Amino acid sequence: MEAKRITIFTGPFGSGKTEIAVNYALHLNRHGEKVGLVDLDIVNPYFRSRALSQWLKEAGIDLVSTQPGLEMADLPALSPRIFSFLQSPDHQVIFDVGGDPVGARVLGRFQPYFQTNPYRLWLVVNPYRPGYEEPERIVDLAREVEAASRLEIAGLIDNSNLGKLTDQKVRTEGAALVQAAATRLEVPVVFRTYTDQAFLTELEQAGAERIFPLNLYMLPPWEVD
């Protein structure tokens, strides 16, 4: 997964995009990259990477977001530090963006940077979330995100899971749905995630070319002590 200057993670509520964005930022950091993580999720009130800002700072990840209290404005007040990340050739910049047209539209504010810097937009998919059980619906979402953001999706990320109920059958059937959507969109499945060694073995046996480990950092409020 050779990094470009800008990597954008988007996906609908419950897809796991924020978890993946955080893990990917840490992955780049471990490989010696200077990382700026931009939390532009104005849709999801619960699972936002900004909730981990202090912990990420201690881990070496610089996180910025919208101005506090103005996240839900029609034109969110963006921190100027986002632009400093984009202007710095030393930074790998990761965007965590809401995965519907409302969330994706925020990316339009950064069009000049996307036109002059290598970027990739990855759509995170969990086909077990309500409304995304069919490849056609995933394709529709991808087209809506592209239209709203004025960017092209470069690939899908397979995050098929049912939480603690995930087993080999869930993974296999989910992978088939994500692959079917990717085929229709004519983009690759960038990688498939796993959260424990058992899933890694299953993915290796299935011949997945790229697999990506996830540590779970984003706990819902009702599970936080």
Domain residue ranges in the chain: 6-223
Strand 6-11 relative to strand 91-98: parallel, antiparallel, unpaired?
Answer: parallel
Question: From the DSSP assignment, how many helices (H) and strands (E) are in the chain?
Answer: 8, 8
**What is the pLDDT at residue 48?**
57
Helical packing angle, 135-149 and 168-185, nearest 10°: 50
Q: What is the pTM for the complete model shown? A: 0.85
Q: Indicate the CATH number of 6-223 among 3.40.50.300, 3.30.9.10, 3.30.565.10, 1.10.10.10.
A: 3.40.50.300
Residue 217 burial (10 A CB sphere; 0-12, 13-18, 19+)? middle
User: Average pLDDT for consecutive 10-residue bins of the chain (225 residues)?
Assistant: 81 90 92 90 56 80 71 59 88 86 82 89 95 95 92 96 88 94 97 74 56 78 43
Cα(22)–Cα(14) distance, integer angstroms: 15
**What is the pLDDT at residue 43?**
54
**What is the pLDDT at residue 221?**
44
What residue type is 73 in one-letter code? A
**What is the pLDDT at residue 224?**
40
Q: Measured between alpha carbons, how far is residue 87 from residues 55, 77, 81, 136 in Å?
A: 25, 19, 10, 38
3-state secondary structure of 36: strand
Q: Measured between alpha carbons, how far is residue 146 from residues 60, 66, 69, 129, 210 in Å?
A: 31, 22, 28, 21, 24
Nearest to 214 by CA among 19, 8, 14: 19
Secondary structure of 151-171 as H, E, C letters: CCEEEEEECCCCHHHCCHHHH
**What is the pLDDT at residue 71?**
47
